Amino acid sequence: MSTQNNTSTVAIQLSDRKRIAVQAGCVCLMLSIAMLGLSFNVLQGPILIEMNAMKYFSLLTIFASLGLVIMTPIGGKLGDIFGRRNIVVISGSIAVVCGLGLSLVKTIIPFITLRLILSAAQGAFTAAPYIIAREINEAKNVPKVMGILASSVAFGGFAGSIIAGALADAGLLNIAIAFPVLPLIIGIILIAINMPNKKREGKTPMDVLGIVVLTLAISSFVLSLNFGSSLGWTNPIILLGFIAMIIFFFLLVKVENKAVDPIIPMRLFKNRNYTTLLLVGFLAYFYMTTMNTYAPLAVQQVMNESATLSGILQMPRTIITMLLPALVGVWVGKKRDNFWIGMAISSILVAVSFIPLCFINSTTSIVLMISLIGVTGLAESIRGVTVTAAAQSFLDSKDIGVGTALVNFFNSASSLISAAVCGAVFNAAGTNVAKGVNGTFVVAVASSVLQFIIVVMFIRKAMRTQKPANSNSIDAI
């Protein structure tokens, strides 16, 4: 990309060799995050059975996401204050220690504790690869790099679950737990050696009160959502949790508005285009719970197919998301209009995929279902290279770190809220499993249609008329 004076718009100048090495390090970080997440989905049952602690399954599941959700927005801000490289090295090293520790402990309390710390450490650097992509690349190349990161997540999840399962079946459970730290170690080394630690000049006060209130707000939100379906949404404890959530979020707004350097700058939510893209990203993720949880259930209990077939539902989708995002990123980077067009196409593809699934019954073809879910791989390939990069383009340079982290936070929150909504829809059907899963597919269609409307009515106009807020944006190609 060239600007009017033909000067580079890269925030951190690196030689080609160092830039490639840093990008490889970011890929390794994403591989590790995906491998850790998907391998634990496979291994959690066998681990708890070995510890005679299956009663902790739900609690461990919550802790696996709690630290990640809390630390994602905090990690973005800490990177601005202390430097992105330092945050990756420190939090990544903590994650390595926890990952290795999980493979060694034999009792449940230390295991749960390490799992919580691991998810928090991951949250601290989850947004870093996406922020670094913006800092070390010309704007026109950012969507392509986002595509490579999206492919890394797809490959990491696919390979992680297969490798973990194979190692566990071979009786090597400890190795199955620990192996995802290998790409993480490589990523830390590559970034530590090749990337300078750019941080804000001068002393900046730490927003400790903001961190505490944010942690309490998110914790009450996540715990209430997760336990609501089991304890009942009218349970006094759950209601108290939601009341606490409202109070803490209200306090968070007050605290952050008064903070000298807030963890979450409330001014970001006054940026209409950025806030609208947060909503688009939230809606773009909403179908994931239905696809990951209720589609396999439909295969097994409505279509009466085997667990093996339900396990390969996403194989074509995974292959597509490993190969396509980088190519889509090249297309997106050629023209600013391609951002909103891509988001619109992505939402249409999800809706078209799930409309036939709203009528699943015992005669539905498994081939049809695999094919339709495969189409969502096209949607995900486009989403992965458009939403975050577009949101970044409407942020001032000083807000890229925390702004990108907030995009990731909203994506994570989408999965949690989607799980609660889909759970309520499914439970409303009682013992009629077919009606329940079809209802969750209707939710996926509705969220995708709403996403399409918002993109066409608001994002399209913003992309065409408003100049990007930062100089490292696709404003002239």
pLDDT tens digits along 295-328: 888 888 899 887 667 767 888 998 999 889 988 9
Same domain, 158 and 216: no
- pLDDT value at position 469? 61
168 and 140 within one domain: yes
What is the reported pLDDT for 9?
A: 66
User: Residue 244 above 90 pLDDT?
Assistant: yes
256 falls within a domain: yes
Q: Count Cα atoms within 13 angstroms, Cβ side, for 100.
A: 9
215 in Cβ contact with 264 (< 8 Å): no
Structural domain span for residue 283:
264-477
Q: Which of 373, 369, 378, 354 is nearest to 439 (CA)?
A: 354
19 and 70 belong to one structural domain: yes
| Whether the Cβ atoms of residue 388 and residue 407 lie closer than 8 Å to each other | yes
Q: Tell me the pTM.
A: 0.78
Assigned domain for 465 exists = yes
Judged against a pLDDT cut of 60, whether residue 1 lies above it is answered with no
Cα 155 from Cα 66, distance rounded (Å) = 24
Q: Residue 271 corresponds to which amino acid?
A: N
pLDDT of residue 185: 97
Mean local confidence (pLDDT), 171-185: 91
Q: How confident is the model at residue 8 (pLDDT cuts 50, 70, 90)?
A: low
Backbone φ/ψ region at 430: left (φ over 0), alpha (ψ -120 to 50), beta: left
pLDDT in tens, 393-428: 898 888 888 888 889 888 878 887 887 788 888 888
The pLDDT tens digits for 377-393 are 999 999 989 999 899 88
- Chain centroid to CA 422: how far? 19
Do 335 and 414 lie in one domain? The reply is yes
Flag whether 9 is in a domain. Answer: no
Task: Assess whether 172 and 292 both reside in one domain.
Answer: no
Identify whether 27 is part of a domain.
Answer: yes
In a domain, 3, yes or no: no
Give 294's DSSP letter. Answer: I
Distances (CA, A) of 459 to 274, 310, 340: 10, 37, 6
Instruction: Classify residue 1: in a domain, yes or no.
Output: no
